[in-house]
């Protein structure tokens, strides 16, 4: 594949999804270091048996960040992107509710004589 063919293909993606392919590409490539860092943080927290909620949410966010741009600015977004975002939101809500429940239970135990 030569550079002209790649450029034509890449720029043609903008018409398919209704977005600027350079912005999409910049977000996609720019998120890679943040994804890698958050993934390492997630693995470290899991190994140390620490909370993995925030690193898991950040890892997921950076994984789909370019597709979030598609959802906001584009059209013809793949179904799996909507599904993954729904799962991230559901996981975050479930985790928060669980943590609040634990904090409330711990507070009640601390108040007992």
> What band does 107 get if pLDDT is binned at 50, 70 and 90?
low
Which has the minimum average pLDDT: 12-21, 44-53, 59-68, 101-110? 101-110
Structural domain boundaries of the chain?
A: 3-111
Distance CA 11, CA 7 (A): 6
Tens-place pLDDT, residues 47-64: 888 988 999 899 989 988
- Exposure of 62 by Cβ count < 10 A (0-12 exposed, 13-18 middle, 19+ buried)? buried
- pTM of structure: 0.70
> What band does 100 get if pLDDT is binned at 50, 70 and 90?
confident
Q: CB atoms < 10 A from the CB of 55, how many?
A: 20
């Amino acid at each position: 594949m030569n550079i002209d063919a790649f450029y034509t293909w890449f720029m043609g993606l903008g018409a398919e999804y209704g977005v600027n392919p350079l912005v999409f590409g910049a977000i996609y490539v720019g998120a890679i270091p943040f994804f890698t860092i958050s993934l390492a943080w997630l693995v470290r927290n899991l190994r140390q048996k620490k909370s993995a909620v925030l690193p898991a949410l950040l890892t997921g966010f950076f994984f789909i960040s370019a597709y979030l741009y598609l959802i906001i600015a584009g059209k013809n977004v793949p179904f799996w992107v909507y599904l993954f975002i729904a799962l991230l939101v559901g996981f975050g809500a479930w985790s928060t509710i669980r943590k609040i429940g634990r904090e409330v239970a711990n507070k009640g135990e601390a108040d007992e004589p």
